[in-house]
Amino acid sequence: MQEQAKALAEKIGLKFKDYQFLQEALTHRSFLNENRSYKLPHNERLEFLGDAVLELSVTRYLFSNYQNPEGDLTNWRAALVNGEMLAKIGQEIEIEEFLLMSRGESKDTGKARQYILANAMEAIIGAIYLDQGYEEADKFINKHIISKLPEVLETKSYQDPKSYFQEKAQEIVQVTPHYEVVKEWGPDHDKRFSVAVFLGEEKVAEGEGESKQEAQRNAAEAGLKAKGWK
């Protein structure tokens, strides 16, 4: 059963010696619960491997091409390899339609799906590494992930929105922003928060999140857009 793997490989221009590696990379843990006779394991071990290969590839690229201090390189790398970026790239190359998941997981389109996509991207990198070695994995990473670096640098998405909003607020209006919880709702296991960011008495923007910290980050991001500082 390697149909998904062969179809995805053809779509993104890859050839495998053993398509089982790629098939395993596309297999989410939940799929095994509903398909007991399925012969391959889920993709978490490949994800573990791919994460290390990805980090090495991006680190080598940044080290070889930029003379910036360690702090800059660390922030740029984090922006390229975080789950949000990997999920976005996974959507762009349309790996979602090839993933093997349970019926329940396949209906979820929220954060859980983003997490699955990001993990699958790492697992695919692990599969390429096992099948074809570091050089081919590095080519894939350069093509699909490191190619996002100009966008990261241009939009400054490597900067934490809260830190950047505070920096700009102090620079432009000489005020330190503060945050207030506007609303919280939902049961304890599934809380959501709405937080507003203020400059003095001025309410600049609001953001929502599953934690107060996430809501603050989203409020800061919205504040940067509202003020035209991004």
- Cβ burial, residue 106 (10 Å; 0-12/13-18/19+): middle
Catalytic, 51? Answer yes
Q: Which of 24, 51, 105, 206 is catalytic?
A: 51
Active-site residue, selected from the candidate residues 24, 47, 105, 122: 122
- Is 122 marked active-site? yes
- Distance between CA atoms of 85 and 92, rounded to whole angstroms? 11
| Cβ pair 183, 196 in contact under 8 A | no
Q: What does the alpha-carbon distance between residue 23 and residue 35 come to, in Å, rounded to a whole number?
A: 15
Which H or E run contains 198? strand 192-199
Nearest to 124 by CA among 143, 105, 108, 106: 143
Question: What secondary structure does DSSP assign to 161-196, as a single string?
Answer: HHHHHHHHHHHHT----EEEEEEEES-GGG-EEEEE
Cα distances from 154 to residues 11, 86, 123, 148, in angstroms, run 29, 18, 29, 10
CA–CA separation, 206 vs 182, rounded Å? Answer: 8
Catalytic residue set: 51, 122
